[in-house]
Chains A and B, each alone.
Chain A
């Protein structure tokens, strides 16, 4: 009896259930289908989406876009400075048309997956300094010959120093490691912190002392290309391993760390900028991105930069550079012609040189004017002579928590453990990405 009743009423509710599920599903799918194709051309005006990777220069690009739109009334450009939207855009198959990115391992991965269009045919590509273009192609080229990105801004990093403190102590800019150590001793004896440490933000250790010492001691690019060539077939004892190459560099990192103020482990980047701008230390291992922060904290601070000498041969001294912004066009953009016009405009000397002048960076153009900003003139010789390297940290896949390991090493001072961990991590990533 009971079963009978159930049997007769159940179909009704089950049908209703299915109907509702279907409706809910259809409703949920509706907004998704809308994502794929955004109408980019309306009334003859093409809309370009331009994603740039530096939120601090939004105002500059707004002006650039305004000028560009005035010259090209058929193109409208929308600026997006949230780089985090890029991968979701790829996943939805709806990436921005023109992208700027800092060029390192992560971006190189996009290149290898063919995300970007080939720009080698663009006339403007010929105006780029080939040495700087090489920094981009050193990460690998899609199909072996494509130009996936054109450099827009080259940042050179070294030691930022307080010119007033140097002058007051009668210290010259050091050109050898021994001179550098002697300068640190002089400051220490005078009761001045030689180097301001911000160890709490572990990336400052990675891009700072780790990259500087490694880049000064060994040929980083060569090391990583040999290491990559070995693939997953790498052991700690192999001649290509971290253990076999980085050993001599590590004690110098600890020497640098020892010249930091007490309590450097509880200071972060923001603390460091505030303290260094107020003259609480003579030197600061930071790149040009810190300069504007330092000036914001104290507009009277007189700053300079020099590449950290790591050996006693001044000719070995190199600057750490990174392609801070490189222009790319996504391969599947429906607005290729408009995107190319915009990229060409961005690489006009008046746009690209002005940007780099304003942001304490180096222009990638062949005939760029000499740098006059006193904050970075100390690095310009290294850049124009091509004595530079890309930081070792930038070669690591982002899945390796490298900065944590560097911090661990600076605190625990166990170099062997540090290098063994790097070898292990590198091999494991190679193993799982090789298959």
Chain B
């Protein structure tokens, strides 16, 4: 009761002198820079949960990456040899190459597709609201379900269709082809991720004032020129956000690959996240923990670079 009343009292706009008991008791003048304790109360529960459920387990993981712990039983310190072994493991290195190539490709494709869809949905077309809804459906579906459905399509429907059409290269499932399976994964990921990016682009496009285009029309700029010189620069912040969020998300790709190929055929589509997770079932806990720490450092580096880019663009997340 006392807490709620105090919060209620202090939850007034900061920066005004507070005529309540708190300031009267201390008898001091509250300056504009005083931070209202309410804000601490807002941050605190999340901070505690974050520390307990994310920071602490992560630190425990770092600790065990220096041991030969299998997840249970006896263990001892082995120094950095897990880290040394990671760099000598071609299967792990291959998963890094795959993940980065996949993330780069998918980021580019998702943004091109999403921007195209957003431009279309922003134009004054018929049934705009209905079409928008249809385009956003993939976003509310679970990635695992989507990938199982596509798995069936790629393995059964598509080969039958292609055989009818006499197009033999696709008459066997592309999921069974070591060189093509990743394209199927990119395709499904794009299908699932594009709506999210589209929403952000739509928001961006709606923030562009129509006067700009009217002026461009008067100057005789064509629609492509308008897109390149007006639309794109004006929504650049949204593009940067989409690229950064997308790339970060695709680096952790897991469930779509599990649903489509399970990392196969052979070792062709093993992502880093899958390798790390294999440590839990494989008695390889500490080794894959070392892998996770390395991957964390790499993604941290990428994030720092991206944050720099964002700041230069004047966008803040």
Q: Is B195 an interface residue (CB 8 A)?
A: no
Q: Is A39 an interface residue (CB 8 A)?
A: no
Please tell me if the beta carbons of B89 and A428 are within 8 angstroms of each other in the complex. Answer: yes
- Pairs A–B under 8 Å by Cβ, sample size 27: A5-B30, A6-B33, A9-B26, A13-B37, A16-B40, A20-B41, A20-B45, A21-B47, A24-B49, A25-B48, A28-B52, A90-B72, A91-B71, A106-B283, A202-B262, A202-B265, A263-B159, A397-B282, A397-B284, A398-B283, A404-B263, A407-B264, A407-B265, A411-B176, A428-B85, A428-B88, A432-B287
Q: Which residues 59-108 in A have Cβ within 8 Å of B in the complex?
A: 87, 90-91, 106
A408 surroundings in chain B (CB, below 8 A) = 178, 264-268
Chain B residue nearest in CB terms to A409: B266
In the assembled complex, the CB of B167 is this many whole angstroms from the nearest CB of chain A, namely: 15
Which of A25, A90, A266, A429 contacts B175 (CB under 8 A)?
Answer: A266
Please tell me if the beta carbons of B264 and A404 are within 8 angstroms of each other in the complex. Answer: yes
Interface residues on B, range: 35 or more
Chain B residue nearest in CB terms to A86: B72
Which of B37, B82, B90, B280 contacts A12 (CB under 8 A)?
Answer: B37
Q: A5-B30, A20-B48, A399-B283 are in contact. List 16 more A-B contacts (CB 8 A).
A: A5-B34, A16-B40, A109-B70, A109-B283, A263-B172, A266-B156, A398-B278, A398-B282, A399-B278, A399-B284, A404-B263, A408-B265, A408-B267, A408-B268, A432-B287, A435-B68
Please tell me if the beta carbons of A113 and B73 are within 8 angstroms of each other in the complex. Answer: yes
A372 CA to B261 CA, complexed, in Å: 40
B90 surroundings in chain A (CB, below 8 A) = 424
B281 surroundings in chain A (CB, below 8 A) = 398
Given A5-B31, A16-B40, CB of A25 within 8 Å of CB of B263: no
Please tell me if the beta carbons of A433 and B40 are within 8 angstroms of each other in the complex. Answer: no
Chain A residue nearest in CB terms to B75: A113
Given A1-B31, A432-B85, CB of A266 within 8 Å of CB of B40: no
Contact count A vs B, C-beta below 8 Å: 146
A202 surroundings in chain B (CB, below 8 A) = 262, 264-265
Please tell me if the beta carbons of B159 and A266 are within 8 angstroms of each other in the complex. Answer: yes
Q: Is A188 an interface residue (CB 8 A)?
A: no
Q: Contact string, A1-17, partner B, CB cutoff 8 A, digits 1/0?
A: 11011101100110011
In the assembled complex, the CB of B67 is this many whole angstroms from the nearest CB of chain A, namely: 10
Q: Is B122 an interface residue (CB 8 A)?
A: no
Which of A24, A263, A399, A401 contacts B52 (CB under 8 A)?
Answer: A24
Q: Which residues 262-280 in B have Cβ within 8 Å of A in the complex?
A: 262-268, 270, 278-280
Q: Is A265 an interface residue (CB 8 A)?
A: yes
In the assembled complex, the CB of A207 is this many whole angstroms from the nearest CB of chain B, namely: 16
How many residues of chain A are within 8 Å of chain B by beta carbon? 52
In the assembled complex, the CB of A189 is this many whole angstroms from the nearest CB of chain B, namely: 24
A87 surroundings in chain B (CB, below 8 A) = 71-72, 280
Please tell me if the beta carbons of A425 and B265 are within 8 angstroms of each other in the complex. Answer: no
Please tell me if the beta carbons of B155 and A401 are within 8 angstroms of each other in the complex. Answer: no
B81 surroundings in chain A (CB, below 8 A) = 432, 435
Q: Is B29 an interface residue (CB 8 A)?
A: yes
Which of B28, B85, B88, B278 contacts A401 (CB under 8 A)?
Answer: B278
Q: Is A161 an interface residue (CB 8 A)?
A: no
Q: Which residues 1-53 in A have Cβ within 8 Å of B in the complex?
A: 1-2, 4-6, 8-9, 12-13, 16-17, 20-21, 24-25, 28
In the assembled complex, the CB of A18 is this many whole angstroms from the nearest CB of chain B, namely: 10
Q: Which residues 150-208 in B have Cβ within 8 Å of A in the complex?
A: 154-156, 159, 171-173, 175-178
Interface centre among B33, B70, B278 (most CB of A within 10 A): B70
Q: Which residues 40-91 in B have Cβ within 8 Å of A in the complex?
A: 40-41, 44-45, 47-49, 52, 68, 70-74, 78, 81-82, 85, 88-91
Please tell me if the beta carbons of A401 and B267 are within 8 angstroms of each other in the complex. Answer: yes
Nearest 3 A-B pairs (CB), nearest first?
A408-B266, A266-B173, A265-B176
Q: Is A412 an interface residue (CB 8 A)?
A: yes
Q: Is A278 an interface residue (CB 8 A)?
A: no
Which of A2, A21, A200, A431 contacts B176 (CB under 8 A)?
Answer: A200
A20 surroundings in chain B (CB, below 8 A) = 41, 44-45, 48
Interface centre among A24, A87, A401 (most CB of B within 10 A): A401
A12 CA to B88 CA, complexed, in Å: 54
Given A5-B31, A432-B85, CB of A401 within 8 Å of CB of B37: no
A404 CA to B262 CA, complexed, in Å: 9
Chain B residue nearest in CB terms to A10: B35
A178 CA to B109 CA, complexed, in Å: 53
A267 CA to B73 CA, complexed, in Å: 40
Q: Is A405 an interface residue (CB 8 A)?
A: yes
Q: Which residues 1-48 in B have Cβ within 8 Å of A in the complex?
A: 26, 28-31, 33-35, 37, 40-41, 44-45, 47-48
Given A12-B37, A115-B73, A397-B282, CB of A265 within 8 Å of CB of B52: no
Please tell me if the beta carbons of B278 and A432 are within 8 angstroms of each other in the complex. Answer: no
Given A9-B34, A266-B159, CB of A21 within 8 Å of CB of B266: no
A397 surroundings in chain B (CB, below 8 A) = 282-284
Q: Is A180 an interface residue (CB 8 A)?
A: no
Given A398-B282, A435-B81, CB of A24 within 8 Å of CB of B45: yes
B82 surroundings in chain A (CB, below 8 A) = 432
Q: Which residues 416-435 in A have Cβ within 8 Å of B in the complex?
A: 424-425, 428-429, 431-433, 435
A424 surroundings in chain B (CB, below 8 A) = 90
In the assembled complex, the CB of A202 is this many whole angstroms from the nearest CB of chain B, namely: 6
Chain B residue nearest in CB terms to A401: B267
Q: Which residues 383-406 in A have Cβ within 8 Å of B in the complex?
A: 397-399, 401, 404-405
Interface centre among B33, B178, B266 (most CB of A within 10 A): B266
In the assembled complex, the CB of B283 is this many whole angstroms from the nearest CB of chain A, namely: 6
Given A266-B155, A432-B287, CB of A13 within 8 Å of CB of B40: yes
Interface centre among A24, A266, A424 (most CB of B within 10 A): A266
In the assembled complex, the CB of B179 is this many whole angstroms from the nearest CB of chain A, namely: 10
A431 surroundings in chain B (CB, below 8 A) = 85
Given A202-B264, A265-B172, A432-B82, CB of A5 within 8 Å of CB of B29: yes
